[in-house]
Amino acid sequence: MMSTTFNLTKAADQCVMCGMCIPHCPTYQVSQNEAESPRGRISLIKAFSEGQLSASASLETHLQSCTSCMKCQQVCPANVPYQDIIDSGRHLYRGKLKLSSRLLQKMSIAVLTHQWGHQLLSIISVATKRISMDNQFARLLKLLNKRNIGSTAAKNQQSITILPGCTGSLFDQRTLSSIIKILNLLNIRANIPNKVMCCGALSQHSGYPQQAHKQITAINNYLSQQNANEFVSFASGCGRQFNEQVANEQFQHKDIISWLADSTSVNSANFESCAQRVLVHLPCTLEDYARENVTKLLNLIPSIKLLEFNDGLSCCGAGGMQLISPEDSNRSLLNSKINSIGTIQPDVIVSSNIGCSLNLQLGLQNAGLDINVIHPVTLLARQLKH
């Protein structure tokens, strides 16, 4: 999260327009539009912040379509803080919108990140089944979970705190159940918040830094109350936010993939044979070491055949609000993934980020492909011998 002393103009001036980021930017790869590239967006944001460019539908599209994959920031030789720039640009743009538009956007984020919002979505999801609706929002509602999972008992006192995040609580109870199953077999108790707690990434990357700060503060307070020196997440988008905003000397964070990969018990466990062809999707937000651990863990399953995407693109197009209101570049990225899946024809797809999983599921449904998208941990839990 950018500091209160962040200087947008100074940060934008760090960019020397060398173009080394362009081959790594997914939205530029599918659009070949300079305004859909990192340096293009930086130029637009700087001009907008200096009053040289007015708010417009075109500007909003280019700001919105960025998936925050951060490939550009990783390869930038000038160490340009692109994430802070795009977040700041979105924040400035939100300030120029009409009050009604700002309230609608904040309400959209709130229903995804708060307890009352989840309850409201559950009610709406029931209504949409009785009313014929065919849009992105209605299709997402059909993927809602119906049950909540609390802390679990174990025979001894060893425990681990798990933070599902807002979307994990809303859409990914299956992964949480799988994690608890594995932990129970390891005789470890899972401590899970009894209320929705958001990591703040959705607010931060949508241009609402103050709301993001409140959510991060709530996470820190919860971990302090739990005396949780170590905590685990299972959505890589939340994981990146935790690594950047929460993890420190007091609170150590690990993605569940890396946590399990470091477990001697898991590495020595027995797994049932699985003859399925498994297509591995590695989200942009998944750290490099965690990417290696996905393959390491799945290869513990006998006879499994792991496949890779052949589209040459790292990003599926999901990222923040793009899942709900995707721009053309985001749709093109998803279509590329779906075309690749159609060519490969895997038995199942695994992805470590709920946003990517939901995006792929929606794309598969639209293409008429009956292929499940699950978290790698779910596949491990299925094949783990008791």
Condensed to tens digits (0 to 9), the pLDDT of residues 244-260 reads 999 887 899 999 999 99
> What percentage of the chain reaches a pLDDT higher than 70?
91
Contact indicator for 166, 198 with CB cutoff of 8 Å: yes
Confidence class of residue 380 from pLDDT cuts 50, 70 and 90?
A: very high
Residue ranges matching CATH 1.10.1060.10 in the chain:
8-96
Confidence class of residue 154 from pLDDT cuts 50, 70 and 90?
A: low
Query: Rg for the chain (alpha carbons), in Å?
Result: 21
Least confident of 46-55, 121-130, 337-346, 376-385: 121-130
Confidence class of residue 146 from pLDDT cuts 50, 70 and 90?
A: low
Q: Whole-angstrom Cα distance, residue 205 to residue 112? A: 14
Q: Whole-angstrom Cα distance, residue 115 to residue 118? A: 5
- pLDDT at res. 115: 84
Confidence class of residue 277 from pLDDT cuts 50, 70 and 90?
A: very high
- pLDDT at res. 155: 57
- pLDDT at res. 157: 63
Helices (H), the chain: 8-13, 26-31, 38-49, 57-65, 71-75, 82-96, 99-113, 115-130, 136-141, 165-171, 173-185, 201-205, 209-226, 236-245, 256-261, 264-267, 288-298, 328-344, 354-367, 376-383
**pLDDT at residue 9 above 90?**
yes
Rounded average pLDDT over 14-34: 96
Mean pLDDT of the chain: 89
Class at the top of the CATH hierarchy for domain 8-96: mainly alpha
Q: Which residue has the higher pLDDT, 152 or 242?
A: 242
- pLDDT at res. 128: 65
Residue 152, CA distances (Å) to 157, 179, 196, 269, 350 in order: 11, 11, 17, 21, 25
Q: Which residue has the higher pLDDT, 92 or 154?
A: 92
pLDDT in tens, 167-221: 887 889 999 999 999 999 888 999 999 889 999 999 999 999 999 999 999 999 9
CATH topology for 265-383 is Rossmann fold (3.40.50)
- pLDDT at res. 162: 96
Rounded average pLDDT over 264-286: 93
> Which are the contacts of 103, defined by CB distance < 8 A and separation ≥ 6?
none
Confidence class of residue 282 from pLDDT cuts 50, 70 and 90?
A: very high
- pLDDT at res. 131: 59
Q: Whole-angstrom Cα distance, residue 156 to residue 185? A: 12
- pLDDT at res. 110: 85
Closest CA to 337 of 19, 7, 13, 29: 29
pLDDT in tens, 325-363: 899 999 999 999 999 999 999 999 999 999 999 999 999
Q: Which residue has the higher pLDDT, 126 or 232?
A: 232
- pLDDT at res. 156: 58
Residue ranges matching CATH 3.40.50.1860 in the chain:
265-383
Confidence class of residue 130 from pLDDT cuts 50, 70 and 90?
A: low
CATH tag for 159-263 (out of 3.30.1360, 3.30.1490, 3.30.43, 3.40.50): 3.40.50
3-state class of 218 per DSSP?
helix
